[in-house]
Structure 1
Amino acid sequence: MPASPLSDRRVVTLLALFCCLLWGSAVPGVKIGYDLFGILPSDTSSLVLFAGVRFSLAGLLLLALSLLRRRPVGVTPRRLGQLALLGLISTAGQYALFYIGLAHTTGVKVSITTSTSTFFSVLLAHFIYANDRLTTRRALGCVAGFAGVVVVNLATDGLDFTFAFMGEGLIAIAALMFSLGAIYGKRLSADMDPALMTGWQLFFGGLALVGAGLATGGHLGQVDWQSLLLLAYLAMLSAAAFSIWSVLLKHNPVGQVAIFNTAIPIFGVLLSALLLGENVLAWKNLAALILVSMGIWLVNAVRNAPPVAAPRP
């Protein structure tokens, strides 16, 4: 059987980097959204509601596209439960933590701390998939990546370690949930269209966030054409990035795809500097980006091994 074009390394690289560009743009985009909708960093309920509206719209967009392509969107009750669980992990849980953490730290720190999802994925895949073993190079890549996270959290004088649980802590936990969701989603996509899977999980996860936000008094204070346009962009980027990522995970080992996730800091830091005026040239940010990039190279520069397609039971 011929290999899928989606397993070609050049195709994987281009598509994965495109996803990372979209996700990187979401870092400053969400913070701009807080201003446009009049959401204060301390207003947790409204932060969660904002996330829920974004992802439920993204899910509806994907389901509508499936209908336009004349593809069935119905699923069995058992599969519906699995998709709801995936939505709670990958969308509701992850992004509730992400949005709250994002409001309590800088876009630069978020971009780099989010890269820990790559190293969580590499470590988890070692215990789940026989063709995703943790090698010496991958271990060194994980160390380099986490070193980048440590460096970006150093104070300006380089002596004090500043780490806020409500900021960087929640972002790191969200990164772990992203990794868990990616591995669970890979299992579900084995016999399901990745775009349909993504649409349902985003919709379920988004609804859970909307419900939680409304139940605790959340609201979107200012709604105008600018805020709606930004919300539409955030929904579309989520629909596109998650769908493409799910397709790549379906046709490739988790570790080979997940390592590209560390490109998000590169795009996120540059776009945060451009759109938010954050200082990208600070020594700690540049050092962190170098370390994260080194982690990408080390994890990705593995020697070819005989393929083992089946995951461990």
Structure 2
Amino acid sequence: MTMSITTTGPREPARFFSQPRVLIMLATFCCLLWGSSYPAIKIGYALLGIAQSDIPSKLVFAGYRFVLAGLLLLIVAALSKKPLFNLDRRNAGQLMLLGFTQTAIQYVFFYIGLAYTTGVRGSILNATTTFFSVLLAHFIYKNDKISPRKAAGCLLGFVGVMVVNAGDGLFDFAFALLGEGFIVIAAFVLSAASIYGKRISQGMDVMVMTGYQLGFGGAVLLAAGYATGGTVRAFTAESAALLGYLAILSALAFTLWSLLLKYNQVGRVTVFNFLVPVFGTTLSAICLNENIMELKNLVALVLVCSGIWLVTRSPKLRSRHSKPAVVLTDVQECRSSHGR
């Protein structure tokens, strides 16, 4: 992808966010935030006294996070003078469907799955989002077919998933549907929903779209959790601060990532996605006292990160006089590669 994104705003932000040093620092910061969500969610379960089998309360916990994150994004959008209420019935229906799938359904699987596996495994397994996106795009878009490079990346990634779930024996895989299985299902749902989000984002502002879908999806999670008997009674200053952090994490990371995508070529930004499982596993090991130094975890991490790098890196130009490819200014087209 070679065509730079043209903006109508001031040139100073474009000059600032396109600086290599700024790109590296902010993209790494976003990946650090997303990686920190894995141990933060598990710590939240402990602080709020949510038992492993208490699925309704997990939904309430997730619902509060995304309602708050959606409100934060909409406030930022309003302060940026973006049109918040310029929606017709078709737009509203699209946003509700996107929020139901990308936030509500996906996080039902993600929050439950993370309760039944370690943060280290969860962060590595959730990286399969990138590979599902590549496979789905192959069948949906004529100009996004699987290349040998992408195929090699997918193969490395799924081998990494197999390695991290290997038991003591060569063919002894520690894989539970409620744990590792639900994490992988969440990754697939996010990939499919993100492709739908890419389509509808062509007709509306990405920040407004994301704010509404997060808010609606969070409201669905809250309603479902409370309707099935969920509750979060033990709110303290510490647990409230953690919930606030998770909400700010979602809003801040997406906003910064969107700015980087706006002022840089897509491939220059998405290559940093491989840092999410790196930070996720490291922070889980530090915060949750999980053992990251097992050989299979280290091998799996290298394989998954290598696969993501192969899938997301931009191909080199064949000729300096080649016709530039057209890229969409839509930030959503790359969101499927991280999701947290």
Partner of 1:263: 275
Q: Which 5+ residue runs of structure 2 have no aligned equivalent? A: 7-13, 319-323, 329-340
The 1:46–1:150 alpha-carbon spacing in structure 2 relative to 1, beyond 3 Å, is: same
Q: Is the 8 A contact 1:151 1:287 kept in 2?
A: yes
SS, match of residue 120 in structure 2: helix
Distance 1:28 1:270, change over 3 A: same
Q: 1:129 aligns with which of 123, 141, 155?
A: 141
1:30-69 correspondence runs (5 A) = 30-69=41-80
Deviation per CA, 1:8-41: give whole Å up to 9, x if none.
6957665544332211100000000001111011
Match for residue 227 of structure 2? 215
Do the aligned partners of residues 96 and 256 (structure 1) sit closer, same or farther apart at CA in structure 2, a change above 3 Å counting?
A: farther
Contact 1:186 1:249 (8 Å CA) reproduced: no
Q: Establish whether residue 302 from structure 1 lines up as the match of residue 315 from structure 2.
A: yes
Quick one: distance in 2 between partners of 1:231 and 1:119? 30
Identify which of 145, 150, 155 aligns with 1:143: 155
Identity between Structure 1 and Structure 2 (%): 54
> Structure 1 residues 118 and 255, CA, compared in 2 at 3 Å: closer, same or farther?
farther
Offset, 1:150: 0.7
Cα shift at 1:170: 0.6
Mapped pair 1:201 → 2:213: yes
In the alignment of these two chains, the number of paired residues is: 311
C-alpha spacing 1:2/1:159, structure 2 compared with 1 (3 Å): closer
- 1:127 Cα deviation (Å)? 2.8
Which residue identity does 1:190 align to in structure 2? Q
Cα deviation, 1:58-102, whole Å, max 9, x if unaligned, reads 001111222233333112221111111111111001111100000
| Root-mean-square deviation over aligned CA pairs | 2.7
Letter in 2 for 1:34: Y
Structure 2 residue 91 is the aligned partner of structure 1 residue 79: yes
**Counterpart in the other structure of 2:176:** 164
AA aligned to 1:220 is V
Q: Do the aligned partners of 2:35 and 2:276 also contact (CA within 8 Å) in 1?
A: yes
| Partner residue, 1:173 | 185
Q: In 2 relative to 1, CA 254–70 (structure 1 residues): closer, same or farther, beyond 3 Å?
A: closer
Deviation at 1:156? Answer: 3.9
- When residues 14 and 94 of structure 1 are mapped into structure 2, their CA distance, relative to the original with a 3 A threshold, is farther
Secondary structure of the residue aligned to 1:162 is coil
What is the SS of the residue equivalent to 1:263? helix
More divergent stretch after superposition (115-124 vs 25-34): 115-124
Q: Tell me the distance in 2 between the aligned counterparts of 1:248 and 1:80.
A: 28
What letter corresponds to residue 3 of structure 1 in structure 2? Answer: I
Does the C-alpha gap of structure 1 residues 214 and 258 become closer, same or farther in structure 2, counting only changes over 3 Å?
farther
For 1:220 and 1:21, the matched residues in 2 are separated by 27
CA deviation string 1:98-131 (max 9, x = no partner): 0000000100110000000010111222233344
TM-score by length of 2: 0.83
1:107-166 deviations in Å (ceiling 9; x for gaps): 011000000001011122223334432110110010001111110001145441110000
Q: Deviations over 1:261-291 (max 9, x none)?
A: 4432111000001111101100010000111
Unaligned stretches of 5+ residues in structure 1: none
Would the alpha carbon gap of residues 189 and 13 (structure 1) be closer, same or farther in structure 2, given more than 3 Å must change?
farther
Partner residue, 2:335? none
Matches of 2:23 and 2:137 in 1, distance apart?
A: 18
Distance 1:149 1:17 in 2: 23
Find the counterpart in structure 1 of residue 34 from structure 2: 23
Does structure 2 retain, via aligned residues, the 8 Å contact 1:100–1:166?
A: yes
Over 3 Å counting, the alpha-carbon distance change for 1:32 and 1:26 in structure 2 is same
Partner of 2:9: none
Native 8 Å contact 2:277 2:305 kept in 1: no
> How many Å separate the matches in 2 of 1:71 and 1:112?
36
> CA 1:252 to 1:146, structure 2 compared with 1: closer, same or farther past 3 Å?
farther
Deviations 1:38-69 (A, max 9, x none): 10110000011100110011001111222233
Q: C-alpha distance in 2, partners of 1:188/1:176?
A: 19
